[in-house]
């Protein structure tokens, strides 16, 4: 009866909506799928059934109740969802050729960015955020920042601001081969902040792993695909970076680190104010002695 309404939603949403009306045995694979979303549903009926400890026909009855015409149909829906989340620049020609632009480009693009930010921040666990702030606020800890090929700009952004607020902030940069030096005296009292999004970089992952093994706290900023660094990270922030049809957007990651900075600044205002005034003074000294151009 409510098919027309629920059929527009994601598979996960369809399941949640009908969970109450499922038989106990049907509920088992339904929950299994939610727990291993969407991989479980991409297997064969037999594999899925085995995973959920039910028989094949039960799977098929479940799929039918969810409103799919066949099991391949259901899998296609899962793949479509997945693809939408994962599109990379090379994936597809821009849509403007296919159907005329609705609203101009800038407005459309901006709306997508805003949606990304909103969705990301809404889903973000507040406690994790506060924990991260506390870690970064602790002046005794050393802070190391690391980014990937593209995300290094984010690491730099955070670095430039943190450096103003507190001492002992370092950026891991340059050739990969030189990174190890940072690992040398990295210990229990240090924090590594890593930015890593899809097309996760092996060298970044390895570095984070090493740092974690050495006892450092690892803070990870990643996309919905979740970098493998998460396995060793103490705090993980996963935000949306995918845009409808084009490149990825760092807007949400950027917003998050700015929020982090703002929070730090607000909470430890007295310390950072003193520090910034001192900086100001030093800069004045330096520039006063510079020769006039």
Return d(Cα 151, Cα 197) in angstroms, integer: 7
Which of the listed partners (a second copy, DNA, none) does 181 bind, with a CB threshold of 5 to 8 Å by partner kind? Answer: none
- Residue 181 or 202: the one with the smaller Cβ distance to a second copy is 202
- Residue 47 or 189: the one with the smaller Cβ distance to a second copy is 47
Encoded tokens for 96 = 């403007």
Which of the listed partners (DNA, a second copy, none) does 293 bind, with a CB threshold of 5 to 8 Å by partner kind? Answer: a second copy
Here's the x/- map for DNA, 29-58, by CB under 7 A: it reads as: ---------------xxx-------xxxxx
For tokens 């700015």, what's the residue? 258
Among 2, 24, 122, 286, binds a second copy (CB under 8 A): 122
Rounded to 10 degrees, what is the CA torsion of 278, 182, 199, 218?
-70
Least separation, in Å, of the C-beta of 22 and a second copy?
A: 17
- Would you say 165 and 139 are in contact if contact means Cβ atoms under 8 Å apart? no
- Residue 76 or 110: the one with the smaller Cβ distance to DNA is 76
Least separation, in Å, of the C-beta of 38 and a second copy?
A: 8
Residues 213, 216, 217: CA angle, nearest 5 degrees: 115
Q: Could you say which residues in the range 256-275 bind a second copy, by CB under 8 A?
A: 258-259, 261-263, 265-267, 269, 272-273
Asked whether the bond before 38 is cis by omega within 30 degrees of 0, the reply is yes
Which of the listed partners (DNA, a second copy, none) does 50 bind, with a CB threshold of 5 to 8 Å by partner kind? Answer: none
Here's the x/- map for DNA, 55-94, by CB under 7 A: it reads as: xxxx-xx-x------xxx----------------------
Which of the listed partners (DNA, a second copy, none) does 70 bind, with a CB threshold of 5 to 8 Å by partner kind? Answer: DNA
Per CB under 8 A, 181 contacts a second copy: no
Least separation, in Å, of the C-beta of 93 and DNA?
A: 20
Per CB under 8 A, 134 contacts a second copy: no
Return d(Cα 139, Cα 165) in angstroms, integer: 10
For tokens 């090929």, what's the residue? 149
Here's the x/- map for a second copy, 80-99, by CB under 8 A: it reads as: --xxxxxxxxxx-xxxx--x
Which of the listed partners (a second copy, DNA, none) does 57 bind, with a CB threshold of 5 to 8 Å by partner kind? Answer: DNA
Binning the chain into helix, strand and coil, the percentages to the nearest 5 are: 60, 10, 30
The number of angstroms, rounded, from the C-alpha of 26 to the middle of its chain's C-alpha atoms is 33
Residues 235, 244, 30: CA angle, nearest 5 degrees: 60
Return d(Cα 98, Cα 59) in angstroms, integer: 38
Per CB under 7 A, 23 contacts DNA: yes
Please enumerate in sequence order all residues whose Cβ is within 8 A of that of 24, keeping only pairs 6 or more positions apart, or say none. Answer: none
Return d(Cα 34, Cα 256) in angstroms, integer: 28
Least separation, in Å, of the C-beta of 168 and a second copy?
A: 19
Return d(Cα 232, Cα 236) in angstroms, integer: 10
Give DSSP secondary structure letters for 155-171.
Answer: HHHHHHHHHHH-S-EEE
Candidate segments 20-28, 32-40, 55-63, 135-143, binder of a second copy by CB under 8 A: 32-40
- Residue 73 or 181: the one with the smaller Cβ distance to DNA is 73
Least separation, in Å, of the C-beta of 31 and DNA?
A: 13
Per CB under 8 A, 183 contacts a second copy: no
């Amino acid at each position: 009866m409510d098919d027309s309404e629920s059929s527009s939603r994601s598979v996960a949403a369809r399941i949640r909506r009908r969970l109450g009306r499922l038989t106990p045995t049907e509920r088992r694979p339904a929950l299994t799928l939610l727990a291993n979303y969407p991989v479980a549903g991409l297997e064969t009926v037999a594999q899925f059934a085995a995973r959920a400890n039910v028989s094949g026909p039960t799977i098929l009855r479940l799929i039918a109740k969810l409103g799919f015409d066949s099991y391949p149909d259901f899998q296609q829906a899962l793949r479509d969802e997945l693809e939408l989340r994962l599109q990379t620049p090379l994936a597809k020609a821009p849509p403007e050729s296919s159907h005329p632009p609705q609203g101009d480009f800038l407005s459309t693009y901006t709306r997508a960015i805003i949606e990304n930010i909103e969705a990301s921040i809404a889903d973000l666990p507040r406690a994790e955020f506060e924990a991260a702030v506390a870690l970064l606020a602790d002046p005794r800890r050393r802070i190391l920042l690391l980014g990937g090929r593209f995300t290094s700009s984010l690491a730099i952004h955070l670095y430039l601001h943190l450096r103003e607020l507190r001492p002992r902030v370092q950026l891991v940069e340059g050739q990969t081969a030189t990174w190890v030096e940072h690992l040398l005296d990295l210990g229990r009292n240090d924090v590594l902040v890593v930015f890593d999004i899809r097309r996760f970089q092996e060298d970044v992952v390895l570095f984070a792993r090493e740092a974690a093994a050495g006892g450092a706290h690892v803070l990870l900023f990643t996309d919905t695909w979740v970098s493998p660094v998460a396995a060793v990270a103490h705090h993980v922030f996963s935000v949306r970076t995918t845009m409808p049809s084009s490149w990825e957007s760092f807007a949400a990651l950027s917003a998050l680190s700015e929020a982090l900075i703002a929070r730090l600044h607000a909470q430890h205002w007295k310390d950072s104010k003193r520090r910034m005034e001192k900086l100001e003074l030093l800069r004045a000294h330096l520039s006063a002695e510079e020769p006039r151009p």
